[in-house]
Amino acid sequence: MTQAQDAAERIASLRSEIDAHNYRYYVLDEPSVPDAEYDRLFRELKALEAEHPELITPDSPTQRVSGSALSAFGTIRHEVPMLSLGNAFEEKDLLEFDRRVRDGLADELVSHNGNDLFSQTAEIEYTCEPKLDGLAVSLLYERGVLVRGATRGDGTTGEDITANVRTIRNVPLKLQGRGWPDVLEVRGEVFMSKAGFEALNERAMEAGGKTFANPRNAAAGSLRQLDSSITAKRPLEFCCYGYGRVEGGTLPNTQYEILQSVRKWGIPISKELKLAKGAQACRDYYHDIGERRDGLAYEIDGVVFKVNRIDWQKELGFRAREPRWAIAHKFPAREELTELTNVEFQVGRTGAITPVARLKPVQVGGVTVTNATLHNMDEVERLGVMIGDTVIIRRAGDVIPQVMQVVLERRPADARPVAVPTHCPVCGSEVERTQLVKRGKGRESVSVGAVYRCVGRLVCQAQLKQSIIHFASRRAMDIDGLGDKIIEQLVDRCMVKSPADLYALTFEQVIQLEGFAEISTRNLLSAIANSRTPVLARFIFALGIPDVGEETAKLLARTFGSLERIQRALPEVLIYLPDIGYEVAYEIHNFFEEEHNQNVIGDLLRNGVQVQEEGELHPEFAGYATFADFIEKLGIPYVAATGAKNLAGHFKTLEALITADWLDLSAMKGLNERAKNAVRDFFSQAEYAERARMIEAQLREFGMHWESERTQVEGLPLAGQTWVLTGTLEAMSRDVAKEKLEALGAKVSGSVSAKTTCVVAGPGAGSKLTKATELGVTVLDEQALLDRLASFEVS
């Protein structure tokens, strides 16, 4: 055998192996090899094809992205027109559809069911599929090879998007198995999953590019690219729901079996495809999918029912452009158009002034919407929204309605820009724009933030109310029965000017409040009294420090063990905790530095609040750093991880480093000249040397010893690790899994970052999983988590 024959054989076998893996992965959803193995096969094929370009065929899995961009799409004619569907919005529409189908098939049903035409047993069998929210596409296979992809267009002529559909990973370039007709045109929806859409928008945002309003727009924008190499980078997917031209072969007799055959040939179909007998069963399917709508990986706008028997479909035929044998049962829309009549500003707990869109009332998903969030001024700018604009509003599940997009074509001539108020709409205090302070390399850089804040603090009734609502809430001080309405009254009547005043309320004061009688007054006062002994974590959380949620509060309490230590902690010390960056560290520090907050804490304690503290420093804290980390975190210019490590190894102690003479420093290896100069300059400034001593002293006071490298930490097995749980867990709830991990010393965080040790991903995992994969963070499934947990159990 010649070398070329060898190569040809190997190429053929690699291609069929890769095609088989693709089939398992995209169609059966049962990956057969690890990604690394797949990549290896793919690379080998690419390399062989590069050596033997004459052996490249268009159906090779390496040939998805073709040469150059088009100047325009060609047009194609659909020999079998691509039709649309009639809609059912209510159950009655569905029952009527079923009635029409049965009327239309009356003759058939008589022969089918004898004279039983009007009995309940004359039920029609329907296929049920989700109605994916994407774009209809036709794929033409000739002798099993994909030769053309086209958009629906007006149903008769569409655009030739062959180069683009070839880049869609789950579209086979070549059919699998056997038995397909010589000419087979399949039809289906090209769409983008929710996770794919989010990841795409995240990437666009990072690159400062334009984001898409929803997965449908993202799919449409991606498919209509003249440059298919752009389409190739977009996470598009295809799902087949029907067929067009069929020549030189036949398809089975039912819609259900046709889709099963198509699947066998390697074309993905919906996993939710079901058969239902009669309208009641269709209705059940509609409700079942409706309930699972939020949990599906992709957006759907309804379900589609089709008469299963193809001969009956033919018998029923079409009316205008809609088949009489199929109907789309739509879910209530989640997006609607309406007019933005005004933008008002609300003041939150931390004083953040948030723009809220006031809307002309509109029904979205069965609920009347009159307001929508605009998040912050960056978002207002990103949307380019003006007062008077027509906007697209979206409401999904329990999520607060959002403004997705402006319909620019409908902007009225008198549209007004959104202006941030210069003074707080509630208390009249000044409004300032937050600053983003980035500290690093011994320098600070300040840029403007997206958030505007009322500087009024607790003078501002809005902030005061929100602070107290937060303070009293279940996960904070847990004052039972102290609802928002009561808090509003207390603040409006000036009975409460800070959270501390709650503990000084008297019977006479409370009983004056609307809706209060003797018993309810006693109940509220005893609920307040019962909240007097919070554990430290709850107390810290209740204070409402900006950016300090429950997790951070727990971490602070667990690490430092006392309120006094947390109050004193320097920002440079706080950053040793996992997941606390400079921004949060400064928020915490500044909060406790502020006189007003000190007074509130003092008043709380004076009014009888007794914080339950562990008192002990957690040994885990000692494991958060090495001397090298310490040097690195000082932010000396040009001294990064390696330089810091070498300095630590050479000098061993901070004093030795501060007092190092120039000779000693020059002789040192593993540090360049520039960095050496920077080290000398840094410590020659008395304030920097002093600050470093202060940080070190506090770290030592709090239990850190440089001798202990992270690996030698005594204590819990997962100490210092950060875990993230995402998706659904089956054997135990996420809360239980979290508790178990925390008991082993791990921190369980809600977001994935480069600091994350491990992500546990269950079914339905989305953007967090994508991010973990991107960052190369270890990902475990639930079984692997259970195995890990079991391995720590003491037998």
Name the binding residues: 35-39, 84-85, 129, 152, 189, 306, 330, 424, 427, 460
Span 360-389, contacts to ligand IVH by CB under 6 A: none
Which residue's entry shows tokens 């073709």?
66
Instruction: Name the minimum Å distance from CB 365 to ligand IVH.
Output: 19
CA atoms within 13 A on the CB side of 343: 24
Instruction: Name the minimum Å distance from CB 132 to ligand IVH.
Output: 4
Q: Which is nearer to ligand IVH, 127 or 646 (CB)?
A: 127
Q: Which is nearer to ligand IVH, 149 or 534 (CB)?
A: 149
Instruction: Name the minimum Å distance from CB 236 to ligand IVH.
Output: 14
Instruction: Name the minimum Å distance from CB 765 to ligand IVH.
Output: 25
Tell me the Ramachandran region of residue 428: left when phi exceeds 0, alpha when psi lies from -120 to 50, beta otherwise: left
Six token digits for residue 15:
């291609």
CB 738 within 8 A of CB 748: yes
CA 412, chain centre distance (Å)? 35
Q: Is residue 629 near ligand IVH by the rule CB under 6 A?
A: no
Q: Is residue 129 near ligand IVH by the rule CB under 6 A?
A: yes
At residue 288, what are phi and psi to the nearest 5 degrees?
Answer: -60, -50
Q: Is residue 131 near ligand IVH by the rule CB under 6 A?
A: yes
Span 83-102, contacts to ligand IVH by CB under 6 A: 83-85
CB 764 within 8 A of CB 727: yes
Beta bridge partners of residue 125, listed in sequence order = 277
CB 391 within 8 A of CB 379: no
Which residue from 132, 269, 580, 718 is in contact with ligand IVH, where contact means CB under 6 A? 132
Instruction: Name the minimum Å distance from CB 164 to ligand IVH.
Output: 16
Which residue from 241, 586, 630, 683 is in contact with ligand IVH, where contact means CB under 6 A? 241
Q: Which of 650, 637, 649 is nearest to 681 (CA)?
A: 637
Q: Which is nearer to ligand IVH, 215 or 323 (CB)?
A: 323
Measure the CA–CA gap between 522 and 517, rounded to whole angstroms.
Answer: 9
Binding-site positions for Zn(2+) read 424, 427, 460
Six token digits for residue 533:
């002994």
Measure the CA–CA gap between 548 and 559, rounded to whole angstroms.
Answer: 15
CA 278, chain centre distance (Å)? 39
Query: Which residue's CB atom is positioned nearest to ligand IVH?
Result: 136
| Window contacting ligand IVH (CB under 6 A); options: 131-139, 579-587, 686-694, 705-713 | 131-139
| Window contacting ligand IVH (CB under 6 A); options: 128-136, 176-184, 443-451, 678-686 | 128-136
For helices 91-104 and 278-292, give the axis angle rounded to 10 degrees.
Answer: 140
Six token digits for residue 318:
């079409």
Q: Which is nearer to ligand IVH, 132 or 218 (CB)?
A: 132
CB 350 within 8 A of CB 459: no
Q: Which is nearer to ligand IVH, 148 or 411 (CB)?
A: 148
Span 217-236, contacts to ligand IVH by CB under 6 A: none
CB 294 within 8 A of CB 397: yes
Q: Which is nearer to ligand IVH, 88 or 543 (CB)?
A: 88
Q: Which is nearer to ligand IVH, 327 or 553 (CB)?
A: 327
Strands 322-323, 318-319: pairing kind: antiparallel
CB 595 within 8 A of CB 674: no
Instruction: Name the minimum Å distance from CB 331 to ligand IVH.
Output: 13
- In the set 131, 738, 740, 771, the catalytic residue is 131
Exposure letters 248-267 (e unless 16+ CB within 10 A, then b): eeebeebbbebbebbbbbbb
Residues contacting ligand IVH: total by CB under 6 A: 15
Q: Is residue 304 near ligand IVH by the rule CB under 6 A?
A: yes
Q: Which is nearer to ligand IVH, 187 or 589 (CB)?
A: 187
In sign, the C-alpha dihedral spanning 65, 67, 69, 73 is negative
Long-range contacts at 676-685 (CB < 8 A, ≥ 24 apart) = 678/442, 678/636, 678/637, 678/638, 678/639, 679/636, 679/639, 679/647, 682/442, 682/634, 682/636, 682/637, 683/657, 683/658
SS3 percent helix, strand, coil of the chain, rounded to 5, is 45, 20, 35
In sign, the C-alpha dihedral spanning 599, 602, 608, 614 is positive
CB 496 within 8 A of CB 468: yes
CA dihedral 655, 660, 664, 670 (to 10 degrees): 70
Instruction: Name the minimum Å distance from CB 81 to ligand IVH.
Output: 9
Q: Is residue 580 near ligand IVH by the rule CB under 6 A?
A: no
CB 174 within 8 A of CB 144: yes
CA dihedral 173, 177, 178, 183 (to 10 degrees): -20
Measure the CA–CA gap between 166 and 352, rounded to whole angstroms.
Answer: 48
For residues 151 to 190, the per-residue mask of contacts with ligand IVH, x marking binding by CB under 6 A and - elsewhere, is -x------------------------------------x-
Instruction: Name the minimum Å distance from CB 88 to ligand IVH.
Output: 12
Binding-site positions for NAD(+) read 35-39, 84-85, 129, 152, 189, 306, 330
| Window contacting ligand IVH (CB under 6 A); options: 81-89, 261-269, 478-486, 668-676 | 81-89
Q: Which is nearer to ligand IVH, 319 or 705 (CB)?
A: 319
Q: Which of 753, 750, 712, 740 is nearest to 620 (CA)?
A: 712
Q: Strand 125-132's sheet: what is its strand order?
A: 86-88, 326-330, 300-307, 125-132, 274-277
Strands 300-307, 326-330: pairing kind: antiparallel
| Window contacting ligand IVH (CB under 6 A); options: 129-137, 479-487, 495-503, 667-675 | 129-137
Measure the CA–CA gap between 748 and 724, rounded to whole angstroms.
Answer: 6
| Window contacting ligand IVH (CB under 6 A); options: 58-66, 127-135, 209-217, 642-650 | 127-135
Span 323-362, contacts to ligand IVH by CB under 6 A: 323, 326, 328
Instruction: Name the minimum Å distance from CB 241 to ligand IVH.
Output: 4
Span 734-773, contacts to ligand IVH by CB under 6 A: none
Check if 131 is active-site. Answer: yes
Instruction: Name the minimum Å distance from CB 148 to ligand IVH.
Output: 18
Instruction: Name the minimum Å distance from CB 296 to ligand IVH.
Output: 13
Q: Which is nearer to ligand IVH, 324 or 395 (CB)?
A: 324
Strands 386-387, 335-347: pairing kind: unpaired
| Window contacting ligand IVH (CB under 6 A); options: 139-147, 322-330, 545-553, 746-754 | 322-330
Q: Which is nearer to ligand IVH, 100 or 755 (CB)?
A: 100
Instruction: Name the minimum Å distance from CB 540 to ligand IVH.
Output: 50
Which residue from 136, 383, 464, 631 is in contact with ligand IVH, where contact means CB under 6 A? 136
List residues with catalytic annotation.
131
List residues near ligand IVH by CB under 6 A.
Answer: 83-85, 129, 131-132, 136, 152, 189, 241-242, 304, 323, 326, 328
